[in-house]
Amino acid sequence: MILCRFVGRLALVALLIALVPTLAFAQGGPPAPEPVDQPNEVAALRDKYEDLSREEVEAMGFVVPPPMACVSVPGIGGMGYHTEHQEKYATQFDAGEMDPNDPPILLLDKDHKVRGVEWEAKDVGQGELDLYGQAVELQPGHPGVEEPHYMMHVYFRPDNQVLMLSSAKVPPFDPTVECPAGMPETGAGGLADRGRSVPSAPLGALAAGALILAGTAWMGGRRAA
C-alpha cells in the first residue's frame, strides 16, 4: 500500500508540474537558485546519509519506491526518488515541526545514491518556519498532501556546498538530479531527451486523466496510512 501511494502521489505531482511550463526558469520565472556553503548541521547529515547504499537506507526504515516513481521535469531538474520514513514523517508533519537532525525523507538519484534530504510540516498556525537559518515558506498542497504545508529540500553539491530550496516561488528541483534514462518524459521520467518539448495540452490532459484515475485508486491520500 505504501509503494502504491508513492507511485500515485509522485507520478501525479511530477506530471502536473511538467504540464505547467511557467514553472520553468527559462519562462521568465525566478532565477535559478545558487548553491551555498553547507551549514555544520547539514554537513553532519551528509556524513550520515550520503554514502549509504539502497540496502542500508531500507535497513534504516526508509521505503524506496518503485522505478516509475522517480521525479524529474525536462528543463527544470529533478527530485529523484522520495524514500520516506513513515513514522518520522507522521510525527514531524502532524506536529508542524522539522527536526533539523532527523529528516523524514531521503532523496535518491537514478543510481540510488542519496542526493539530498527533505522535510514537510503541516500548517498548525505556527507561522513561517526557520531551518538552518533559512526561512521555510508555506507552500501549496499537492496530490497526497492536499492542504498547504511547509517544505524544505536540501540537495548535496560538490565542494561542501548545498542547494537549499524552501520558497513557494521556486520549484523544489535540483538541475543536476536525473532519473533513469528511457523513462516517459512526463515529469515522472528521466532527463535523457531534454531537447523534446513538454507534451501538448490535449495529450497532457489525457495522460493526466489516466494517471488521476489510477493514482486515486492507489493512494487514498498520504494521510490515510
Q: How far apart (Å, rounded) are the C-alpha atoms in residues 141 and 147? A: 5
Q: Taking the domains of the chain in order of start, what are their residue ranges?
A: 2-220
Looking at residue 183, what is its pLDDT? 61
Assess contact for 219 and 145: CB atoms under 8 A: no
Looking at residue 200, what is its pLDDT? 29
Q: How far apart (Å, rounded) are the C-alpha atoms in residues 177 and 110? A: 8
Looking at residue 199, what is its pLDDT? 30
Indicate the pTM of the whole model. Answer: 0.75
Residues of the chain with pLDDT under 50: 1-5, 7-9, 11-27, 185-225
Looking at residue 155, what is its pLDDT? 98
H-only helix segments in the chain: 2-18, 40-49, 54-59, 86-95, 201-219
